[in-house]
Amino acid sequence: MLGHLESYSQDLTLFILPDNVWQLHNSTIILLYNTIMAFSNKSSLTITHIGTATAIIDVDGVNLLTDPFFSPANTEWDIGVTVLKNTDTPAMSLETLPPIDAILLSHEDHPDNLDELGRRLLDGRKVLTTIDGAKKLAPRPGVRGLQPWETVTLVAGGRTFRVTATPCQHLPGGECTGFILEYDGFGTSSDGRPNALYISGDTVYVEELAETIPKKWNITVAIMNFGNAQVPMPGGGSLQVTMDGKQGARLFRDLKADVLVPMHFESWGHFTQFGNELRRDFQDDGVNDKVCWLTPGEPKKIF
């Protein structure tokens, strides 16, 4: 592509700058993210947030669902260390969902990530989750558990994806996973790394993620769970089990990702940071211009 540009005029000198600004002798062309992606990316990505960590990730018409939760507002669950209660009804119900081709389940043992209604969707579908989760969800032939950094091929909706499990730090003694989603239609970066989506799952900042992911993948979109969720500990005090805005902004920068899509920051009593506070953290940390906010129930085309 550079050769084509240079051939248009011998009078213009082309420089490539680190911040993706192309500076010409007589003019400056700023290439925005979507323009860059148009040359290397032949696919489409639309995300519909339903509520909490539940979203439809539509890749070229294939619908992948994350962490199915569909219970109405004011439903309660006693999980031993605390009682969980939601304050908002999800934007979609089981009856209004489009056909779901596969499910990416971060963990099965917390009802805000998988409730009784969401479990109905697991039957007869391909589901990727943790090793422990797959055992507990048996017998469901389509459920597969992944070890951290294990990569598998997922064929869904007639298309082929590569999914890698990423480590999470959530509640002690429980398993939780994030995911990296590769697809040939996403293309590759200029240095040959595959473009990919990162889905954090429920986790706080983990150094291993920042060290490992950018070496292997070019993260175009990072879908990250926030809320600064806190759970009381038996000996007193509380434990942080999901990221706050500052941790998330740090991980986003460390991943060198292009677009940040926040989820999991409203509707629950154990969350301690909500939308307005999250926005302030993003603004303070200088990533606000990279954030794509979702409105529950409304599809958002990312590229």
- Structural domains of the chain, ranges and CATH numbers in brackets: 1-31 (no CATH), 41-301 (3.60.15.10)
The whole-number average pLDDT for the span 58-84 is 93
pLDDT of residue 40: 54
What is the distance between the alpha carbons of residues 70 and 132, in angstroms, rounded to a whole number?
23
| Measured CA distances, 106 to 27, 83, 178, 301 (Å) | 48, 20, 6, 23
State the DSSP code for 163: E
pLDDT tens across 244-294, in order? Answer: 999 999 999 999 999 999 999 998 888 989 999 999 999 999 999 999 999
Strand, coil or helix: what is 203? coil
State the sign of the Cα–Cα–Cα–Cα dihedral 130, 136, 137, 140: positive
pTM: 0.86
End-to-end CA distance of the chain: 20
Q: Which amino acid is at 132?
A: D
Instruction: Tell me the sheet residues that pair with 126.
Output: 102
Structure tokens, 51: 């509520």
What is the distance between the alpha carbons of residues 177 and 201, in angstroms, rounded to a whole number?
6
Structure tokens, 210: 């920042």
Q: Which amino acid is at 269?
A: G
Query: Which of the four pLDDT bands, split at 50, 70 and 90, describes residue 233?
Result: confident
Residues near 16 by beta carbon (within 8 Å), at least 6 away in sequence: 22
Percent of the chain with pLDDT over 70: 86
